[in-house]
Amino acid sequence: MPTLETAPGITVHYTVDDFTDPWVPGPTVLFLHGLAESGEAFRPFVPPLARRARVVRLDLRGYGRSPALPADHPWRFDSLVGDVAALIRHLGVERVHLVGGKIGGTIALAVAARHPELVDRLAVLGGPASLTNMAGRTPAWRAQIASEGVRPWVRGSNAGRMGTRMVPAQLQWWEDLMSRTAASTLEGFLQMVPTVDVTAEVDRIRAPALIVTTTGSGLGSVDEVRAWQERIPGSRLVVLQNDSYHVAASDPDETALLVRDFLFG
């Protein structure tokens, strides 16, 4: 798996899946995952997209195969945005299609607003513009992780995250994936989460944008999502009937096809 040093002492890993014709130049699609995940979160998106584009799945700093970070790591949202911009430049392309889920979608919004020259099209899957409403949840999450470990926290919080439609085997796969995250990474990251708010920046996005949410998202009502989505010129909002807020996980096939059709028509 290729790696990139994005800052002193910070190395990120990423996966590349490319089944395009070598003689036909194709676009690059970069995926950004959410809390306690890795690029594996977008596994179902590879088959529909990798024949049309080079698919790159980043493991954010501290997550997946990127080295875990200590609990006192100085997490800054701006640094996560900088990691993504550095990777796009490292990939040797002028622009990418950027796709993010949950806080990965929030990061994608910020990258598109701050670095419009790097983003061709933007898809946000269940990602809020603001995470300040998480301030009431994260202290209890941190306490549970510190006392019981990561897996009990994942198991206890996945009901709201994944909704009620997942079959047990599906829920178990996500529990196993998320439980691989180091407790030290989550301790610092969860302190940062409630400070994240890019609402004031979305007006600066110029890339065509697809925003996907659900009718029962715990990260914001449809009206709350529409309020900032409509400020992105030419953007489109799709609302799926579900009670999850991790729409890329709960509705992977439908969201993958939505992304494919949005990117390639």
Both tokens of residue 240?
């799926």
The CATH number given to whatever domain includes residue 108 is: 3.40.50.1820
Cα separation of 265 and 259, whole Å?
A: 10
The strand pair at 96-101 and 28-32 is best described as parallel
- How many domains does the structure of the chain reveal? 1
Predicted pLDDT at 208? 98
pLDDT of residue 265: 85
pLDDT at 1: 78
List, edge to edge, every strand of the sheet that includes 28-32.
Answer: 3-7, 10-17, 54-59, 28-32, 96-101, 119-125, 209-214, 236-240
Distance, C-alpha 195 to centroid of its chain: 17
Encoding tokens for residue 206? 């110029």
Task: Outline where DSSP puts E strands in the chain.
Answer: 3-7, 10-17, 28-32, 54-59, 96-101, 119-125, 209-214, 236-240
Per residue, the 3-state secondary structure of 205-251, as one string, reads CCCCEEEEEECCCCCCCHHHHHHHHCCCCCCEEEEECCCCCCHHHHC
- Tokens at residue 146, please? 């510190």
- Asked if 255 and 263 touch (Cβ cutoff 8 Å), the reply is no
Query: What pLDDT score was predicted for residue 181?
Result: 98
User: Mean pLDDT for each 10-residue chunk of the chain (265 residues)?
Assistant: 94 98 95 98 97 98 98 98 98 97 98 98 97 95 98 95 94 98 98 98 98 94 97 97 96 97 95
Range of the domain at 216: 3-264
Specify the pTM.
Answer: 0.97
Identify the residue whose tokens are 């494919």.
Answer: 260
